[in-house]
Every structure is written in structure tokens, then in C-alpha cells.
Amino acid sequence: MQLEPVVVVFLYGLLTAVATGLGALPFVFVRSVSPRAVAYSNAIAAGLMLGASFGLVAEGSERGSVQTFLGTLLGIAFILVTQRLLGEHDLEIGQLRGAGARRMLLIVIVMTVHSFAEGVAIGSSFAGGLTLATLITAAIAVHNIPEGLAISAVLRPQGATIAACAGWSIFSSLPQPLMAVPAFLFVDAFRPALPYGVGFAAGAMVFMVFVELLPEAFEHARRPAVGLLASGSLIAMILFQALL
């Protein structure tokens, strides 16, 4: 039985969302978490997010440099406003409380917003045929795994279970199948918004790295070690994206 094109597009997007949950798997082997381990995890997550941001800016600039730059400014403004709003409340999400819950919520929000742009990319790629769509979807699915790793690197040291890490990672990518279908149906209307979307995600992630992740990492671990881990994961992410 041949599936309807809309169903195929949705399933392709759902595949990329599920792939994000695979980023939690390495933490199956992490049993105990010390403040220093939390700092090291934050350093790794910081490098992964910076590397992903660089890739997003490069991708956005191909579709519109000015639009991408404006998107980054909106992303930074969004994090500033969100921090101010969250700072007024004593957050509690599962086992996470206070700063840990706040950081988790920010990470998930940023990654979720980023996923909207990737969903549009999946849906739009079908305009070039099934082969192109398959290649684009596979690239995004593989790219999503380290994004899930970045989310899990923040959540796991704070006490989140492996299932919760995988669940929140997948949740952050659910906009991909949801946006892929309308982008497929109205491809010409969605394409102009792509540079704004990827710029927004890049600006938000870069700002979070410098105001949330790295400051805490430097507070609980030696600076050379934090710098080494952040730099190493940054370079690894850039090389990984270049291979795609």
C-alpha cells in the first residue's frame, strides 16, 4: 500500500525527532554525578551548542545574511526576556529545582525553537524530489543526535533519568514533523522565514552558552579542563557538520 505524500513527510520529520533521543544513550553508563562532573557536562554541552550555532549561521547566511543577523538578535532578546520572567519564579520540574530547572527549561525552549526551522527544511526539501528529501532528512536526523546529547549533558547531572533525558530531547524536536507538513504543502510561503528561524536559534544558543553554561562550569571545575572540553566538543561538532 502506497502512503499519502503528507504521511511520508510527517514520518520523515518524526524520524528526525526520535533520533534526538539517541543523544541520551551515552549517559546510561554515567552512574554518579559530582559538581565537577556537572561542570564538565556543561562544558561539553557548551561546545556542542556553539558548533551547532556556527553551522546554523552558515546555513542561514546562504539564504539571507541580514535576515539571519536579525534572527540572532531576536534570539538573544528572547533569552533575556525569558531569563527575566523565569527569574521571578521558583521553578520545580520533576527532580530539578531552582537554577537547574531554569537552565533545563531554557535549553529545551531554545532547542524546540530551533526545531521549527529544521521542520521547514525537511518539508521544503520534498520540492526537490524524494531522493533529496531522504538525504536532507538523514542529515538532520544524524545532526539531531549530538543536540540530544547537549540537552542530556545538562539534564542528567541535575538528576534527570535517562528516560527523561531522551523524552525531553525528543520533545524538543517535535516541531520538525509538525512543521514539515505545512512547509511541504506551502513551500514557497515558508522558505523566506528560514534564515530568521535559524538565526534566532543560533543567537539564543550562543547567548546561553556564555551566560548560563560556561560561567557555572568555570565555577566548579578548573578553567583549563573546561576550556579543553568546550573547545574539543566545539571542533568535533564543526567537523561532524562538515562531513554531512
Helices (H) and strands (E) in the chain, counts: 11, 2
**What is the grid cell recorded at 234?**
566545539
At residue 71, the pLDDT reads 87
DSSP string, 25-73: GGGGG-----HHHHHHHHHHHHHHHHHHHHHHHHHHHTT-HHHHHHHHH
pLDDT in tens, 3-37: 688 889 999 999 999 998 998 888 888 655 567 77
| pLDDT at residue 213 is higher than 60 | yes
| pLDDT at residue 58 is higher than 80 | yes
Confidence of residue 215 (pLDDT cuts 50, 70, 90): confident
| pLDDT at residue 228 is higher than 90 | yes
Question: Phi and psi dihedrals of 64, rounded to 5?
Answer: 160, 105
Highest-confidence range of 111-120, 165-174, 190-199, by mean pLDDT? 165-174
Question: Phi and psi dihedrals of 202, rounded to 5?
Answer: -65, -50
Q: What is the pTM of this model?
A: 0.63
Average model confidence (pLDDT) across the chain:
79
pLDDT in tens, 87-145: 554 445 455 555 556 666 777 777 777 677 778 778 877 766 787 678 778 777 877 88
Q: What gap in Å lies between CA 84 and CA 87, rounded to an integer? A: 5
Residues paired with 96 in a beta bridge: 93
Strands of 116-240 (E only): list them: none
Q: Where are the domains of the chain?
A: 5-16+37-243
Mean per-residue pLDDT, 158-171: 86
At residue 121, the pLDDT reads 74
At residue 244, the pLDDT reads 62
Location of C-alpha cell 554518579: 32
Decide: 193 and 120 in contact? Cβ < 8 Å: yes
Q: Helix, strand, or coil here: 3?
A: coil
Nearest to 155 by CA among 21, 24, 17, 7: 24
Q: What gap in Å lies between CA 215 and CA 240, rounded to an integer? A: 26
Nearest to 91 by CA among 72, 70, 107: 107
How far CA 129 is from CA of 5, 62, 122, 138, 178, in Å, comes to: 11, 21, 11, 14, 20
**What is the grid cell recorded at 88?**
521571578
Location of C-alpha cell 546562504: 62
